[in-house]
Amino acid sequence: GQQVMQIPQYQHVQEGEDFTTYCNSSTTLSNIQWYKQRPGGHPVFLIQLVKSGEVKKQKRLTFQFGEAKKNSSLHITATQTTDVGTYFCAGKTGGSYIPTFGRGTSLIVHP
Amino acid sequence: NAGVTQTPKFQVLKTGQSMTLQCAQDMNHEYMSWYRQDPGMGLRLIHYSVGAGITDQGEVPNGYNVSRSTTEDFPLRLLSAAPSQTSVYFCASSFSREGNTEAFFGQGTRLTVV
């Protein structure tokens, strides 16, 4: 079945440093979504990417979808303590109803 | 608009007991799904539904049953609880159409089986 690998599992950064998490799929995706889960909370949708090579920005967050539509990344510039949480990617193929989630990357920001 | 509502928020069960986790959404979403979240394992799909009367298994369905008699409700039943089912359970819903199909998650149910 479809697999979505996400690395790293954990990332410790000092406040102000940049952060990147990577997502790779074993199959070509029709779209990829990113979610953020704060400690003790539930996943919250951040963004969806659909087009090959697409890049979208939300303030300090930059999301990319690979040319082959099999990988994606989330980059946070100048992390803040409010960025703490687990970031999940979720990839959907054309034939699936429900996206497959990666295992997530937990971001820990040290003040 | 309440979104996705899960009850209860916390539950402790004894091994062998059965229970139902409730999930309701008021957004008229066609798709609903149940996930369990364990440390380091991400969100694993248990069961999902693409509409009333239609359900299918996800990655980890053993020990769980679901039904979808209405668009709004998608309960998850634990038939005979085991310690391995200690986890945080999330229900989610989304539209089925192409375009933005973001999933809306409930607040979660923290289940402990002793």
pLDDT tens digits, residue range B51-88? 999 999 999 999 999 999 999 999 999 999 999 999 99
Query: How many CB atoms lie under 10 A from the CB of residue B10?
Result: 9
Chain A nearest CA to B86, separation (Å): 16
CA distance A85 to B105: 16
| B107 pLDDT more than 70 | yes
Q: What is the pLDDT of residue A75?
A: 98
* Residue A46 identity (one-letter amino acid): L
Q: What is the pLDDT of residue B101?
A: 81
Question: Chain A within 8 Å of B88 (Cβ-Cβ)?
Answer: no
Q: What is the pLDDT of residue B98?
A: 65
For an interface test with A, the pick among B47, B101, B109, B110 (most A C-beta atoms closer than 10 Å) comes out as B101
- Could you tell me the pLDDT band of residue B1, with boundaries at 50, 70 and 90? low
| A103 pLDDT more than 80 | yes
Q: What is the mean pLDDT of chain A?
A: 95
Question: Chain A within 8 Å of B23 (Cβ-Cβ)?
Answer: no
Which position has the token pair 């608009």?
B1
Burial class (CB in 10 A: 0-12, 13-18, 19+), B61: middle
Nearest to B48 by CA among B74, B78, B77, B86: B74
Quote the percentage of chain A above a pLDDT of 70. 98
Question: Chain A within 8 Å of B57 (Cβ-Cβ)?
Answer: no
CA distance A39 to B18: 29
For residue B76, the Cα-to-chain-centroid distance in whole angstroms is 6
Residue B7, SS3?
strand
| B96 pLDDT more than 90 | no
Lowest-pLDDT range of A58-62, B4-8, B41-45: B41-45
Element of type H or E holding B6: strand B4-7
